[in-house]
């Protein structure tokens, strides 16, 4: 049932504050500010590596997880697209654990990767949305996302719930490894707990984003740029836009611009820059300057401080509230989902059932 919404995708986008809150509550204790104890088949303190593999949007949540595990828990992460991982014959040390991320829990390549790791004798955790799915059953521990059923082919609420689990796990790992103090752990949990409330605020930008989408629908090519955790979000923005609006979109790490894609820049290819005012904001601004100098049109997704500090002329600027660093990827996922959604609505595509795609990819 779509309720008052035109599409399941729209409904699922709007469910995010609630399902993120449910998911976080499963992993962190909002009153004590600590992560909840987890029964894991490994000890984070004794690991020297985690291998993550997944497909599509789930893979991109893992890529953001890598930044968090490495930054907060000082734990190196190898991350792969499952269809590559399963044939790559990666050596896994005795001190590794493997994590698989899947909404459906049935994705063929992700399952095959899980079985490869099982064969290597590595402990296995699965971040899945569908309880009782094959991936959930075959793993040593299931780390559920509590997104509820996701009907739209484009993954939205499952993605932000996957991010919520990855963030909570990274804090858990950091606490276990002693790379954060108890006080820092509490601060991270408190910051993360802000996500549902802030998500409600971000969703109120929908009318403005709809206007931006009306313009975006006139273009055939779009480039997304971001640095740090905004780089996987740039990839996710491009994936979401192409899958439901059929507009050709690519995501790049902003620093890669001058290594090739800058040759594409002209007035016919808008560049969507995801850049909250964070530690590398200035670097991204210099990439925007390079785009502007070549006649490129910029849609900037930033926060109040970022909007104030950037002096570059943009086609549009979407301004989010200031958000804590660890909650940012969850919150910046929302405008890119809404932008893809409204653009597809203007294009008149079948938003919930885009052509050639299946919700769960159970064949190779």
- φ and ψ at 56, to 5 degrees? 55, -135
Candidate segments 12-20, 152-160, 208-216, 320-328, binder of ligand M6R by CB under 6 A: 152-160
Which residue from 134, 155, 287, 343 is in contact with ligand M6R, where contact means CB under 6 A?
155
From the CB of 19, what's the least distance to ligand M6R, in Å? 15
The whole-angstrom separation of Cα 341 and Cα 337 is 6
From 118, 242, 309, 359, active-site residue: 359
Residue 153 or residue 223: which is nearer to ligand M6R going by CB?
A: 153
> Judged by CB under 6 A, does residue 55 bind ligand M6R?
yes
The whole-angstrom separation of Cα 229 and Cα 326 is 10
Question: Please, which of residues 105-124 interact with ligand M6R by CB under 6 A?
Answer: 107, 110
Contact (Cβ atoms closer than 8 angstroms) between residue 34 and residue 213? no
Helix then strand count (H, E) for the chain reads: 14, 12
From the CB of 53, what's the least distance to ligand M6R, in Å? 10
- The verdict on whether 359 is a catalytic residue reads yes
From the CB of 101, what's the least distance to ligand M6R, in Å? 7
How many residues touch ligand M6R (CB under 6 A)? 16
Which residue reads 């890669």 in tokens?
256
H runs (alpha helix) in 154-223: 157-177, 182-193, 195-203, 206-216
Spatial CA neighbour of 28 closest among 227, 168, 173 = 168
> Judged by CB under 6 A, does residue 58 bind ligand M6R?
yes
From the CB of 240, what's the least distance to ligand M6R, in Å? 6
Residue 113 or residue 287: which is nearer to ligand M6R going by CB?
A: 113
The whole-angstrom separation of Cα 287 and Cα 255 is 7
Spatial CA neighbour of 252 closest among 229, 220, 227, 284 = 227
Q: Classify 298 as helix, strand or coil.
A: strand
> Judged by CB under 6 A, does residue 154 bind ligand M6R?
yes
Residue 35 or residue 102: which is nearer to ligand M6R going by CB?
A: 102
Candidate segments 148-156, 181-189, 288-296, 316-324, binder of ligand M6R by CB under 6 A: 148-156
Which residue reads 């006080």 in tokens?
183
> Judged by CB under 6 A, does residue 53 bind ligand M6R?
no
Contact (Cβ atoms closer than 8 angstroms) between residue 230 and residue 277? no
Candidate segments 12-20, 50-58, 218-226, 278-286, binder of ligand M6R by CB under 6 A: 50-58
Residues near 137 by beta carbon (within 8 Å), at least 6 away in sequence: none
For the chain, the residue count is 364
Which residue from 17, 56, 251, 276 is in contact with ligand M6R, where contact means CB under 6 A?
56
Residues of the shown chain interacting with ligand M6R in the complex, contacts defined by CB under 6 A: 55-58, 102-104, 107, 110, 153-155, 239, 243, 360-361
What residues are labeled active site? 359
């Amino acid at each position: 049932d779509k309720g008052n919404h035109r599409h399941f995708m729209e409904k699922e986008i709007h469910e995010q504050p609630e399902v993120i809150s449910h998911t976080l509550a499963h992993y962190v204790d909002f009153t004590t500010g600590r992560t909840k104890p987890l029964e894991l088949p490994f000890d984070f303190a004794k690991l020297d590596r985690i291998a993550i593999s997944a497909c599509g949007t789930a893979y991109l949540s893992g890529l953001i997880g890598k930044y968090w595990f490495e930054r907060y828990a000082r734990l190196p992460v190898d991350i792969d697209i499952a269809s590559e991982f399963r044939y790559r014959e990666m050596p896994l040390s005795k001190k590794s654990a493997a994590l698989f991320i899947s909404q459906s829990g049935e994705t063929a390549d992700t399952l095959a990767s899980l079985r490869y790791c099982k064969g290597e004798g590595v402990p296995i955790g699965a971040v899945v949305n569908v309880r009782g799915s094959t991936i959930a059953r075959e793993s040593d521990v299931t780390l559920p996302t509590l997104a509820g059923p996701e009907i739209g082919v484009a993954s939205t609420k499952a993605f932000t719930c996957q991010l919520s689990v990855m963030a909570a796990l990274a804090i858990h790992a950091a606490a276990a490894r002693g790379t954060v103090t108890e006080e820092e752990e509490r601060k991270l949990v408190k910051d993360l707990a802000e996500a549902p409330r802030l998500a409600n605020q971000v969703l109120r930008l929908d009318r403005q984003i709809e206007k931006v989408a009306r313009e975006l629908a006139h273009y055939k090519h779009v480039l997304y740029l971001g640095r740090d955790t905004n780089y996987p979000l740039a990839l996710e923005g491009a994936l979401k836009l192409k899958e439901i609006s059929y507009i050709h979109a690519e995501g790049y790490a902003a620093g890669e611009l001058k290594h090739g894609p800058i040759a594409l820049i002209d007035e016919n290819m808008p560049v969507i820059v995801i850049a909250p005012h964070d530690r590398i904001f200035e670097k991204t601004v210099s990439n925007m300057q390079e785009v502007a100098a070549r006649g490129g049109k910029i849609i900037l997704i930033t926060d109040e401080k970022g909007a104030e500090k950037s002096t570059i002329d943009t086609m549009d600027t979407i301004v989010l509230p200031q958000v804590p660093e660890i909650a940012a990827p969850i919150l910046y996922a929302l405008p890119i989902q809404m932008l893809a959604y409204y653009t597809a609505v203007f294009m008149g595509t079948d938003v919930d059932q885009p052509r050639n795609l299946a919700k769960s990819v159970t064949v190779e």
